[in-house]
Amino acid sequence: MPKSEEDDLDTVRIRLLELSRQSGSSLSNLSELIGRNKTYLQQFIRKGSPRKLEEQDRRTLARFFGVGQEELGGPVEEISYGNTVTAQEKGWVEVPRLDLGASAGPGSTPGGEAAFDAFQFSRNWLREMGLERAQLSAISVEGDSMEPLLRDGDDILVDRSPASFRDGVHVIRLGDSLMVKRVAAAGQGRFALISQNLAYPPIDVAAEEVEFIGRVVWKSGRL
């Protein structure tokens, strides 16, 4: 039996609730994000009112979650080069660029976390990278402690999906400072925060002192 439009809307409501929970954002806060009253999305999910999301609301939420609009009931976005649209040119995901910098130096106090722009990534590329369902955002690197791997002004893609810890480059919060460091387990409930630039010594911290924001999975920067 073919799916009805109401079935599709139920799928959208379920997906929106799932994305809300994954991101740690309440429906009330998401309603305010799109300029609606605090109960707007609660009513949409629980009572089906409104019946479907407005295009602008859908676009804002999709950008915030880093998913395609089709996951929230919109059309699959197509980008055409010339007059032909191929399968490889369909399904682009917008990843928000946050007005936020992660220090690659001694640490900086983060400012606001509002998105001011977005990167577009091919859904196929994200799938190949194992990031199709990742919770992604992009921020800038500040400082020189991660050179030559990461340079001041580079943009980094951060996967905020909950996951078991593994050694690698992470964005972390230490006190009031947001930092990007290579993090390694040091045993007995401690971590070593390691800089690529040897001028900066490793920092030894207890597990309860550090908050893991996300794992760095990609970078861009000037040559």
pLDDT tens-place string over residues 27-60: 888 888 888 898 999 999 988 888 888 888 888 8
pLDDT band for position 200 (50/70/90)? very high
pLDDT band for position 88 (50/70/90)? very low
Specify whether the CB–CB gap between 167 and 185 falls below 8 A: yes
pLDDT tens-place string over residues 111-153: 456 778 888 888 888 888 888 778 899 999 999 999 999 999 9
Greater pLDDT, 222 or 72: 72
Domains of the chain: 5-72 (1.10.260.40), 89-220 (2.10.109.10)
Sorted by sequence, the CB contacts under 8 Å of residue 29 that are 6+ apart come out as: none
Greater pLDDT, 90 or 150: 150
Per-residue pLDDT for 183 more than 60? yes
Specify whether the CB–CB gap between 97 and 116 falls below 8 A: yes
Q: Which of 40-44, 66-70, 87-91, 156-160 has the lowest mean pLDDT?
A: 87-91
pTM above 0.75, yes or no: no
Specify whether the CB–CB gap between 12 and 20 falls below 8 A: no
Specify whether the CB–CB gap between 14 and 20 falls below 8 A: no
Q: Please name the residue that has the structure tokens 């597990």.
A: 207
Q: What is the mean pLDDT of the chain?
A: 82
CA distance 105 to 110: 13
**Token digits of residue 216:** 């760095």
| DSSP per-residue string spanning 182-217 | EEEEEETTEEEEE-SSTTS--EEEEGGGEEEEEEEE
pLDDT band for position 19 (50/70/90)? confident
- For the segment 79-89, the average pLDDT, to the nearest whole number, is 40
Burial of 98 (0-12, 13-18, 19+ CB in 10 A): buried
Specify whether the CB–CB gap between 193 and 181 falls below 8 A: yes
CA distance 212 to 135: 14
Alpha helices in the chain (DSSP H): 5-23, 27-33, 40-47, 55-65, 123-128
Would you state the pLDDT for residue 138?
Answer: 93
Output the CA–CA distances (angstroms, integers) from residue 160 to 44, 66, 128, 139, 163, in the order listed. 26, 11, 18, 12, 9
Specify whether the CB–CB gap between 139 and 156 falls below 8 A: yes
Specify whether the CB–CB gap between 19 and 30 falls below 8 A: no
